[in-house]
Structure 1
């Protein structure tokens, strides 16, 4: 079957660029899947029997997002799974050629895409330093690249891209090439990716950097932009995800000392993820995939409620307070839906079904049309599903200034208090909420968290301050008295006000 595929101007420009290291920053709808599929096909066609790396930040991401995008992209070019290539197994029994350097060991083929001409792609996840071990790659392709850790990318992947040009390939430009695809980063962690644009200006012979928005794609269906704008309900997200406009950095943040390199971490249970393999379904992605959880210890659960309901899950671990995961539901869904649809299925395998429950002090009040308080309603749901619940929140809220001083002291590394560590892939929206929370001079306090984002209809509410409020409550309840009993370091935190 002959298929005619027309590339957009940015897609064609990216494809024709001769530099060996190429970076695309494109809005959703700009056609990244199309050129990802083309690159995978072209490398397979031009470098038969070669070994190549397809890179993602985590194995969970590779299974849930990168692999489906790769399969979709290849199908655009008439390459079909289980016909032209197989995933997670060797295709020798299908009559496939073997690569020059085939994987070894009984599980060596688990993370491999094997094409009929012997070309292979190894799925390399940066959260597993062993996933690229032993690979001598001829090329590197990175998906959702702004999420990649640049140091791990260098050590675990770039160092493997060392195969010398084989005579059979001649001077084929795909040998040793690298290509990365991503939308614009929204958090501080992705700053390295946009800085590659400067690298391309400094060394245009080696590096190529291209920015484009979904507006560059004339093949999108009529009305798509209008739908995306109406459904986004967030100008920041619409601008970033669709129009590829980089968000402005918050300089006067309420969480001034938050540092991605120090406070964010990745810790998936890849042994479990490898057992579910490439046929993973949504229900497989439960707390079994989390390697940072203590399975026989209670969970700390904190809620922020209202029209927008959200939850943050934590656990104490030696000298760390680990932020394990966060959830939210939007109206018309209710607090019950957050538990029935999300929290309970995700933590069903957890062994110690005890929860220390925190939330806004208004949770002690009876809700409308009920003689039960919000805390009691949550207790009822959890107890019905086998959880024992202890309500820990106080009847009054701590001041914004107390939160500001305490949490920034902990982020800085205050002696006698635990280090805050956040599982970045389980808390993507919480991280945006924290990084974009602004500090302002208050009428009654030296510093307040600006709450205008909660009233701004142009801001996606999971990126407003709701999740950050749920994050604050257990921390200030558990540690503020300890902090106040020690010498105050209020003078260490310089506050800019407008």
Structure 2
């Protein structure tokens, strides 16, 4: 595919060759205004060239505008990104300014010469800027050490490269800055946010896939594109992909070259978990889901809530059971305490609201043994607080919390025995998950690493990832499987506790 553009200095028309996916992307964002745009692509897929083309088109369409560029550290970004930008702009006959001859169209990392126009909101410090002759300016912002210092800026557009390393929390700083020069530019690129990235491997980078989900729900405001290495084969050496296959591990090759969406980490706490077997996700959220001809979620059947209590994230997976399956029908979580400063009561109130239409209001509460503790300022344990709210809303509640955690290796083996379904001849059950309503739980399980001693690595719980994608929800799955292995199908007519060893 070929695309034409006017070169700044001599106004000659030039032709740029791009692959089909690049052409679709550039055509989409230059003919419609999107609030947020994402491109995820593997090695050699052409996303870096697409970013260079996007910035050159923006310079053409918005002279004297200012574009922000968010990176972890500016120094590293300068060293890694500059050569790619130069190569991309060279295709436009656009070259770095020569201070001896005065030839060239852009200046790197210093104040431009007097002959260059200035942006409407020119930076005070040019050492982190790329400036074009027509005043279009790109300003790099580092977020790793001092993200809050970037508040208060004004930009006409914003880009992020390698979004898998850019924390979602930093968007709260970036997005409000897209407010400069309202009405001054007749360009669909004005006030848009763009993120380019390799496929994410950890929960911290999963926010980019939210752009894909939003693009399906709100196609006028969001645009998402995935590109594979093969999409760019015409611009690569013939043996490039074959060479990568020889040097990369199978999983890295599948994700970063073939474009397969990573389903779980290479060294995971749940090696027996597969989306193909355990997750039902090809359906709409409001569409009744069935399993073996029966309703997956049955409003006339009691529920089992497997709870995990934390000071800043309290969550549960909701299950229904029969002799064959444990069906994970939903997940419910809260990130802030209610007016009475209780996370447990806040969770209970949200549950009551979420399941107000549930016909058979019977529920078994199991899970985190720490729920036996009393939260600050309360005379009740956290389980008792949940019980009180649900009981007050008309639910018949059975308290069945765990009182002890098994050894890490025992827990790991038992859980994967259930998930592996390699237990012909005994009474172990099968786990099935609604991958639409409980998507966060699936991601939480897929991104739960394992330590050398078979313990689950919970470092994501203290990081900056969305806590619903950290390991909290996976813990609730563990609690459920452990409880059911020891007691069988839940009894919703009597109280009982589970003691291990």
Based on CA coordinates, which of the two structures has the bigger radius of gyration?
A: 2
Query: Under a length normalisation based on structure 1, what TM-score does the superposition of the two structures give?
Result: 0.50
Structure with the largest fraction of helix? 1
